[in-house]
Amino acid sequence: MTANADARLAPSQRLARGLKYSTVGPVDVTRGVVGLSLNTASAAAAELRKRYESGKLRRQLAAAAEAVAALPEILPELLSDAAPAKPKRRRRPLLIAAVAAAVLAGGAVAFSVVRRTRRPEPPSPLPPSVDVAPKP
């Protein structure tokens, strides 16, 4: 494959080929991911530019700027209306986690006990390789 044919691959094709071949895989995977990222970023930038030119984004940015400008006036009212924070209760989630861990551990022990009692150890098919009783 020539360099010209290699340069004409689309990023998604390059990614697919990189995943297919293991020798040039890491290079093609990296180039494919970078190419897809660049294509995605340029498409997003083009869409933002269209939205800004159409005025939709411009109106949204203006509304956001007005909301941020009015924030110092609204903030004291919001803080005075807020209820005092209650202390967090962490006992219950820890208790639930401990009970769940105990149940899982108990289930694992019960499973292993039941499995061992059901299947006795098979006798060894081979005779021992050394004499069991030593000769005097």
What's the pTM value of the predicted model, to 2 decimals? Answer: 0.30
Query: Phi, psi at residue 52, to the nearest 5°?
Result: -65, -40
Q: Between 71 and 42, whose confidence is greater?
A: 42
Let me know: does 10 contact 24? Beta carbons within 8 Å: no
In this prediction, residue 11 has a pLDDT band, given cuts at 50, 70 and 90, of: confident
Q: What is the pLDDT of residue 121?
A: 65
In this prediction, residue 6 has a pLDDT band, given cuts at 50, 70 and 90, of: low
Tell me, what DSSP letter sits at residue 124?
A: P
Q: What is the pLDDT of residue 43?
A: 92
Q: What is the pLDDT of residue 81?
A: 63
- 84: tokens are 């005092």
Tell me, what DSSP letter sits at residue 126?
A: S
Q: What is the C-alpha R_g of the chain?
A: 34
